[in-house]
Structure formats: C-alpha cells, structure tokens
Amino acid sequence: AVAVIAPANDERPYHENFEFYGRRLTELGQALEPHGIQLAVGFDASEAARHGKTYEFVRDFDALLVLLSTVGAENVGLWLDLWQIWASGASVENALLKLDQLSVVAVSLSDADEAQPDPRHPDSHRLPGEHGVIDSVAVLSRLAELRYEGPVTPIPGSNLSGLRREQIVKLAGEKLDSVWKAAGITSNTKAPARMAAAAGGV
C-alpha cells in the first residue's frame, strides 16, 4: 500500500503534526502487519498542495526520512518517488546515498524534460529514460546493490493524455525495460535483485 503525507494543513503546527503522523503511521503499520501488507509513505513537493494552508509540513525527502525514523512499525517505509524528489529541488544522487538508512517499500520512476523543476508545471513528469534529466539507471543500480525486491513502477506524464490506455502501457513498459537493461538488470536476473515491474498510474 502507498500513502502520501499532506504537505500542509490548517489544524496542527509542524511539531504537533509530526507527532501525530508518527503515531498514526505506527498504528497503521501495526494494523496492516497481520495481513502481510507493507505501507510505503511518500511526500508531495508541489506548491499547489500547500497553497492557502496555515501550517506547512513534510514536503521534501530529508524531512520524510526523519518522520519515518520515528515510526514504530517495521512494515512502514519509504515510497521512493523520483519525481517528487526532483520537483522539491533536491538531488536524486544525494538521496541514493541515504537509502541504506531505511527500508524502501515502493519505487516510482520518472524523468523530466527541463533542467530545473518549474512550479508552474507541477505535473510535467515524463517516463523514465525519456530525457535523462533524472537518472533512473543510477537508481536501479543502487537498489540492486541494496537487494531491493519490491515494486518498481513507471509513472506516465501528462504528455501521454491523448493516447489510448494500451498504448500508454506499452510505451511505459518499453521505457522501463530500457532503463532496466541499461542498469544491467533483466527480467530473469536472479541476483543481485529481483524487482517487480508494473505499469501503474495509467
């Protein structure tokens, strides 16, 4: 399962919200654990999600790591969403160095068509490997080193909105396969990692 932390609210200031989410995520993890379900937690870097709200909250990778470190449930971990990391202005490369500090539960691969994130276009993500602005190959290689075995999902961009569903799925699969092979990982690779691929978000 995946969940996104709201980056702002009107009810609780930062420190109170931090304690609230630490408890709530722990409770959710404990409720899901008997059913064999892991919970991947992500953040929302978009300015629109914070607009008009009284209190800001977790909206970048480092803050999310700190929050997850307070959760008392082993089945609750990180949703590694490359687009959100890039859109927050953070370095994907630096984020990769911190992955051994926590449990990665789910991964979403994306790319961008411009060198810097533009807040005017919060949903301008592209399929992985389309432009090479976000290095999905480096991410897959790092995950292989960590022996990650969870889902890896390409996220189609808004530029595909005119295509039929089956066309989007086919294109997403092709792009994912290309970065997978560039990282030296194939669908029948047994080591160093076995990663499940799904064309989600379409």
Whole-number Å distance between alpha carbons of 76 and 33: 9
Whole-number Å distance between alpha carbons of 112 and 129: 9
The pTM (predicted TM-score) of the whole model is 0.86
Which helix H or strand E contains 107, and what residues bound it? strand 104-109
Q: What angle do CA 147, 62, 158 make, to 5 degrees?
A: 80
Per-residue pLDDT reduced to its tens digit, 28-76: 999 999 999 999 999 999 888 999 999 999 999 999 999 999 999 999 9
Tens-level pLDDT at each residue, the chain (202 residues): 999 999 999 999 999 999 999 999 999 999 999 999 999 999 999 888 999 999 999 999 999 999 999 999 999 999 999 999 998 989 999 999 998 767 899 999 999 887 666 655 556 778 998 888 999 999 999 999 999 999 999 988 778 888 899 999 999 999 999 999 999 987 554 333 333 433 333 2
Whole-number Å distance between alpha carbons of 182 and 147: 17
Whole-number Å distance between alpha carbons of 173 and 18: 38
The upper half-sphere exposure of residue 160, i.e. CA atoms within 13 Å in the direction of its Cβ, equals 19
